[in-house]
Amino acid sequence: MIKGESGRKTAFFEEMERLDAPLYNAVASATGARARFCMPSHAGAAKGALFASCAFDYTEVEGLDNLCCPTGAILQAEEAAAKAQGCARTLFVTQGSTVCMHIVLSIAKERGEVAYVGDMHKSFFGGCRLLSLQPKGYASVDDFLSDIGKNQNVSAVFYTSPDYFGNVTDDARLIRECRKAGIITVADAAHGAHFSYSGLLPQAAAGRADVSFCSTHKTMATYTGGAFLNLRDDRFYDEAVCFRQLWHTTSPSYLVMASADYSRALWQRDGERFYAEILEKRKEFEKSAAGAAYTVEKSDDISRLVLRFAGRDAAQASAYLAGKGVYVEAAVGDRLIVILNPFNADKLPVLKETLDGFVPEKALAEYGSGDRKRSDAAGRIAFVPVEEGEGRVCMNEVGFYPPGTPFVRKGEIFTKEDVDLIAKNAGCTFGLVNGKLVVLQ
């Protein structure tokens, strides 16, 4: 029996104990320790709301396994996650999909060059730079496949599915043709961790693409940083474990891992019910929002609600909502992104009522970057004020986060339009260093 400090078994623990979650169960059992003389140094006993879960925040003590070389509870949790997602192997990560990306890029580099299709997260370009890879980009699956015969040195092709707006890539032909050509397919499914648990959702990448990864903290009940790296078969398992040892911190968060294990078990048990209820609440919202200043954009993922303000700046709507105590995932252009889950779908009436009558005053500034000039020049980097960036060579991908897709890439030359846009949005721009652009000296 697991007891809290008061010695009373709470309803919270009672619910969680019924789940088949081996790592969570091991960590939960360890919360009953008489004394903790190990890291982390809050010792599971720090007070205050911030530390309400600190009893679950452990290190590699006896019985809790070790992420560097899992043989016990962590391995069992990984095996349960793989089975739930329909793939051969799953590796836990506590540093988000970024580390998963770097692990897979390392595997690909062992075999040759890499290519990508469509927009990619900045972690892809950053990982390529760290590994001295020069990725070849394609605008669409068709473009890549039409060129596949010329890509004799390409070992892997990366793509994003679902995207930030909940839409998936039609990747069946890509996977089929790449398998024939011996090219590894890698799906950045960071926003699709929940897809494996309901027939109302798109088919998950796990078990279909050769390698995929998803951030369980984005759409499931996992603390920030939780992610799964999924392998369709055993071909890359040893390498994946090896490169995880190289890229991952040696102090993984047990709080994150235990919550990922717990959410997998919970979603496996209740996922069909979760998304049936979310779909009904979404339908009610769409019906009640008819005639509003926004429209609901179609999305492949029913739990990704995208509100479009027809050419008006959605950032104003996001700020307005925040001022009323309602927080959304992001504002991208004229679209407001709302992530629905079992814990917030019943709050959709609050979102609707708060937005009633609100119309963003600011028109969305049109931005068409077109094809930028590139430079192959190499050398040391320099840091310059944004307003001095026009005509300089970009040495660090620049874009807005969220969603994390760069619009100026390394080697491209900043235009006046670029620097004006960055200056106006410095607070949400990644790639800046202390407010400066990173350029070729």
**pLDDT 10s digits, 349-404:** 999 999 999 999 988 766 655 678 889 888 999 999 999 999 999 999 999 888 88
Place of tokens 């032909």: 173
Amino acid at 339: I
pLDDT above 90 as % of the chain: 87
What stretch of H or E contains 355? helix 348-355
The phi and psi torsions of 105 (rounded to 5 degrees) equal: -60, -35
Tell me the two tokens of residue 362. 């600011």
Residue 154 has pLDDT above 60, yes or no: yes
Place of tokens 């950045």: 188
Residue 423 has pLDDT above 60, yes or no: yes
Inter-axis angle of helices 254-288 and 22-30, to 10 degrees? 120
Residues 216 and 260 sit within 8 Å (Cβ to Cβ): yes
**pLDDT 10s digits, 225-263:** 999 999 999 999 999 999 999 999 999 999 999 999 999
**pLDDT 10s digits, 72-102:** 999 999 999 999 999 999 999 999 999 999 9
Q: How far is the C-alpha of 30 from the C-alpha of 253, rounded, in Å?
A: 15
**pLDDT 10s digits, 35-74:** 999 999 999 999 999 999 999 999 999 999 999 999 999 9
Residue 433 has pLDDT above 50, yes or no: yes
Global pTM? 0.91
Q: How far is the C-alpha of 217 from the C-alpha of 224, rounded, in Å?
A: 5
- Among 267, 276, 330, 269, CA closest to 302: 276
Specify the pLDDT at position 174: 97
**Domains, the chain, with CATH or none:** 73-261 (3.40.640.10), 289-355 (3.90.1150.150), 381-440 (3.90.105.10)
Residue 393: C-alpha distances to residues 226, 375, 379 (Å): 35, 7, 11
Specify the pLDDT at position 16: 56
Average pLDDT over residues 401-427: 90
Average pLDDT over residues 320-331: 97
Average pLDDT over residues 327-351: 96
Is residue 291 classed exposed, middle or buried when 0-12, 13-18 and 19+ CB atoms within 10 A define those classes?
A: exposed
Residue 8 has pLDDT above 50, yes or no: no
**pLDDT 10s digits, 12-22:** 445 555 689 99
Average model confidence (pLDDT) across the chain: 93
Residue 333 has pLDDT above 80, yes or no: yes
Residue 209 has pLDDT above 90, yes or no: yes
Specify the pLDDT at position 1: 32
Q: Which residues contact 277 (CB under 8 A, 6 or more apart)?
A: 342, 345
330: which strand partners?
Answer: 337
pLDDT above 70 as % of the chain: 95
**pLDDT 10s digits, 281-313:** 999 999 999 999 999 999 999 999 999 999 899
90: which strand partners?
Answer: 230
Which of helix, strand or coil describes residue 2?
coil
